[in-house]
Structure 1
Amino acid sequence: MSFPWAKHYKPSHPLMVWLDEKLPLPRFVYNAIGGGYPVPRNLNYFWNFGVLAGFCLVLQILTGVILAMHYAANSGVAFDSVEHIMRDVNWGWLLRYAHANGASAFFVVVYIHIFRGFFYSSYKAPREMIWLLGVVIFLLMMATAFMGYVLPWGQMSFWGAKVITGLFSAIPIVGEPLQQWLLGGFSPDNAALNRFFSLHFLLPFVIAAVIVLHIWALHIPGSSNPTGVEVKQESDTVPFHPYYTAKDGFGLGVFLLGYFAMVFFFPNALGHPDNYIAANPLSTPAHIVPEWYFWPFYAILRAFTADFLFIPAKLMGVLAMFSAILVWFFLPWLDTSPVRSGNYRPLFRKFFYLLVIDVLVLGYCGGSPAETKYVLISQIAATYYFLHFLVILPIVASVEKPQPLPFSITEAVLGTDEAATLSGASTAA
Structure 2
Amino acid sequence: MSGDHSTYNPTTGFGKWMDSRLPLMRLTHDSFVSYPVPRNLNYAYTFGAILSMMLVVQLLTGIVLAMHYAASTGIAFNSVEHIMRDVNFGWLLRYMHANGASFFFVAVYLHIARGMYYGSYKAPREVLWILGVVILLLMMATAFMGYVLPWGQMSFWGATVITGFFTAFPGIGETIQQFLLGGFAVDNATLNRFYSLHYLLPFMIAGVVVLHVWALHVTGQTNPTGIEIKSKTDTVQFTPYATIKDGLATSVFLLVFCWFVFYMPNFLGHADNYIQANSLKTPAHIVPEWYFLPFYAILRAITFSIGPIDSKLGGVLAMFGSIAVLFLLPWLDTSKVRSAVYRPWYKLFFWLFVANAIFLGWLGAKPAEGTYTTLAQISTLFYFAFFLVILPVLGLIETPRRLPNSITEAVLAKRSGSGGSKPAAAAASPETRG
TM range (shorter): over 0.9
Letter of the structure 2 residue corresponding to residue 168 of structure 1: F
1:335 corresponds to 2:333: yes
- 2:213 aligns with one of 206, 212, 215: 215
State the 1:336 CA deviation: 1.2
CA deviations on 1:313-361 (whole Å, 9 max, x unpaired) are: 0000000000001001111111111100000000100100110111011
State the 1:310 CA deviation: 2.0
What residue number does 1:388 align with?
386
CA distance in 1 between partners of 2:183 and 2:165 (Å): 15
Letter of the structure 2 residue corresponding to residue 20 of structure 1: D
What residue number does 2:108 align with?
110
Letter of the structure 1 residue corresponding to residue 220 of structure 2: G
Structure 2 alignment gaps of length 5 or more: 417-434
TM-score (norm 1): 0.95
CA deviations on 1:374-415 (whole Å, 9 max, x unpaired) are: 111110000000001000110011000000001000011113
**Sequence identity (%):** 62
Q: 1:7-406 to 2 correspondence within 5 Å?
A: 8-35=7-34, 37-406=35-404
State the 1:291 CA deviation: 0.2
CA distance in 1 between partners of 2:240 and 2:307 (Å): 61
CA deviations on 1:81-110 (whole Å, 9 max, x unpaired) are: 000000000000000000000000000000
CA distance in 1 between partners of 2:308 and 2:16 (Å): 69
What residue number does 2:428 align with?
none
Letter of the structure 2 residue corresponding to residue 191 of structure 1: A
Letter of the structure 2 residue corresponding to residue 292 of structure 1: W
CA distance in 2 between partners of 1:122 and 1:198 (Å): 35
Question: Equivalent residue of 2:197, what SS?
Answer: helix
CA deviations on 1:181-231 (whole Å, 9 max, x unpaired) are: 110011111000000000000000000000100010011110000000000
Q: Is the 8 A contact 1:39 1:237 kept in 2?
A: yes
CA distance in 1 between partners of 2:54 and 2:367 (Å): 31
State the 1:3 CA deviation: 6.3
Q: Is the 8 A contact 1:67 1:95 kept in 2?
A: yes
CA distance in 2 between partners of 1:415 and 1:277 (Å): 59
Distance 1:288 1:373, change over 3 A: same
Distance 1:12 1:174, change over 3 A: same
CA distance in 2 between partners of 1:305 and 1:21 (Å): 64
Letter of the structure 1 residue corresponding to residue 8 of structure 2: Y
State the 1:308 CA deviation: 2.4
Distance 1:417 1:382, change over 3 A: closer
CA distance in 2 between partners of 1:417 and 1:95 (Å): 46
Distance 1:417 1:302, change over 3 A: closer
CA distance in 1 between partners of 2:348 and 2:226 (Å): 18
CA deviations on 1:6-37 (whole Å, 9 max, x unpaired) are: 651110011211111121100010111111x1
CA distance in 2 between partners of 1:256 and 1:123 (Å): 28
Question: Equivalent residue of 1:39, what SS?
Answer: strand
State the 1:307 CA deviation: 2.2
Structure 1 alignment gaps of length 5 or more: 419-429
Letter of the structure 1 residue corresponding to residue 77 of structure 2: F
Question: Equivalent residue of 2:236, what SS?
Answer: strand
Letter of the structure 2 residue corresponding to residue 141 of structure 1: M
State the 1:309 CA deviation: 2.3
Question: Equivalent residue of 1:294, what SS?
Answer: helix
CA distance in 2 between partners of 1:9 and 1:380 (Å): 56
State the 1:367 CA deviation: 1.2
State the 1:306 CA deviation: 2.2
What residue number does 1:421 align with?
none
Letter of the structure 2 residue corresponding to residue 29 of structure 1: T
CA distance in 1 between partners of 2:235 and 2:6 (Å): 12
CA distance in 2 between partners of 1:374 and 1:194 (Å): 37
Letter of the structure 2 residue corresponding to residue 58 of structure 1: V
Q: Is the 8 A contact 1:3 1:38 kept in 2?
A: no
CA distance in 2 between partners of 1:56 and 1:257 (Å): 13
Letter of the structure 2 residue corresponding to residue 51 of structure 1: A
CA distance in 1 between partners of 2:72 and 2:300 (Å): 32
Q: Is the 8 A contact 1:86 1:92 kept in 2?
A: yes
